[in-house]
Amino acid sequence: MTAVREAARLHPDLDLARVAIRGWSFSGALAMAAVLRHPEVFHAAVAGAGVTDQRFYNTHWRERFIGHPDEFPERYEAASLIRDAPKLSRPLLLMHGLADRNVFPLHTLRMSQALLAAGRDHEVLLLPGIGHRPIGTAVTRQLLRHQVRFLRRQLGVESRNNGHNTRNDMVSP
């Protein structure tokens, strides 16, 4: 939030009514947290393979920082994005590779379930055969295009080519 405000201070022509955030893995969790917890700053988010519940994260090092979930359940609950699902008021695109062995697809599926239960609209893009890092794979180009189209649509940004899809209109905002 501080970076957005500082960028706006340095560049007064920035449109603070159309701020989006996107990320993958830890940054995907940050993107989700941004629209869930600070919708006054972030108006749309694209979140890929984000950890939504630390109890289901497939990395033992997490316990070194927040303790064992049986001993410190309150820490795990405080870090959960699932509990914030009812707060969603901004557009959110969730993405996840179904072959992800680092952040299991369970994270995205449980978040989607919680959003549906709370009556919150969102979009989900599941990627069959894709692991934790889709960049550099056969789906990279289409995945990036999908994200750009989502953000343009949600933020009301016209395409540079007046809505016509071309091969050159891949990731430019």
25 flagged as catalytic: yes
Q: How are strands ordered across the β-sheet holding 123-127?
A: 20-24, 44-48, 92-97, 123-127
100 flagged as catalytic: yes
pLDDT in tens, the chain (173 residues): 899 999 999 999 999 999 999 999 999 999 999 999 999 999 999 999 999 998 888 667 778 888 888 899 999 999 899 999 999 999 999 999 999 999 999 999 999 999 999 999 999 999 999 999 988 888 899 999 999 999 999 999 987 765 455 444 444 44
- Of 43, 53, 84, 100, the active-site residue reads 100
* Distance set, CA 11 to CA 15, 76, 109, 169 (Å): 10, 38, 38, 25
pTM of the entire predicted model: 0.87
Q: Hey, what domains does the chain have and what are their CATH numbers?
A: 16-155 (3.40.50.1820)
- Of 132, 146, 159, 169, the active-site residue reads 132
112 flagged as catalytic: no
